[in-house]
Every structure is written in structure tokens, then in C-alpha cells.
């Protein structure tokens, strides 16, 4: 059982940065793959990044590669998404999610946070 709460979203100008946090509760947190997804109005939910339970493996969507960094601290039950060089097309609600599988498809993730809004102005 995992409960997830995101924070850190807000309004930022193009080229700026934000750091999102996802606080998790549940004694099995460290056994889950953690991911970030985003959804903009009128668009499907989109994979952003994922990190393995050990933190040793990460995966990014092509449009985020080199700009975003996912990390986790199992001792703090927290996963982060550092977002740099933000673009207006990054505007979306960002959701944290947990999975016992390895993959990028939303259907693989069992637990979801309610999301945090990121808005990037031009």
C-alpha cells in the first residue's frame, strides 16, 4: 500500500526551473518503481520519467531527456523531479505514481497522487 502526495508545482517563465516532490507513505515504498506522468487539457496522459527501486536505473521520455532529472531517497520516502529549461509545452498537471513492474505505460502503475499543476509562460 502506497499513498502519494505531490508538491512543488507553480508558475514559471520559459527557460526556468522547478523541483517537484512526491512524498510517499507505506512501508513497502522502496520496492516500487516510481514514475512521473503529466496530462495537459485535451491530451492523453504522458510518461515523463521513471526510476527503479534502487535508484540505479532511470528512464525519460525523449522530450525530457537532458532537461529533467528523476531521483529518489528511500530513507525519506520521497521521489523528486528536477525540471530545467522549461518550455510552454511542459504545462500540465504532473502526477507521481508507483508500480511493482518495470515500464512506462500508465496501466502498469498501481498508485497515483492527485497531481500538481505546472504552468510555463512564454
Q: What is the pLDDT of residues 16-26, one digit of tens each?
A: 999 999 999 87
**7's grid cell:** 508538491
Q: How many CB atoms lie within 10 A of CB 41?
A: 7
Cell of residue 38, nine digits: 503529466
pLDDT at position 112 over 70:
yes
Q: Can you give the pLDDT at residue 49?
A: 96
Secondary structure (3-state) at 57 = coil
How does pLDDT run across 53-100, given as a tens digit for each residue?
A: 877 899 999 988 899 999 999 888 899 999 999 999 999 999 999 999
Amino acid at each position: 500500500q502506497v499513498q502519494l502526495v505531490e508538491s512543488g508545482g507553480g508558475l514559471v517563465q520559459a527557460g526556468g526551473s522547478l523541483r517537484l516532490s512526491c512524498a510517499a507513505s507505506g512501508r513497502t515504498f522502496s520496492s516500487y518503481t516510481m514514475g512521473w506522468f503529466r496530462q495537459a487539457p485535451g491530451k492523453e496522459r504522458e510518461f515523463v520519467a521513471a526510476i527503479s527501486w534502487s535508484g540505479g536505473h532511470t528512464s525519460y521520455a525523449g522530450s525530457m531527456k537532458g532537461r529533467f532529472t528523476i531521483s529518489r531517497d528511500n530513507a525519506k520516502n520521497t521521489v523528486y523531479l528536477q525540471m530545467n529549461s522549461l518550455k510552454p509545452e511542459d504545462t500540465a498537471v504532473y502526477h507521481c505514481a508507483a508500480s511493482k513492474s518495470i515500464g512506462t505505460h500508465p496501466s502498469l502503475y498501481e498508485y497515483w497522487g492527485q497531481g500538481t499543476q505546472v504552468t510555463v509562460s512564454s
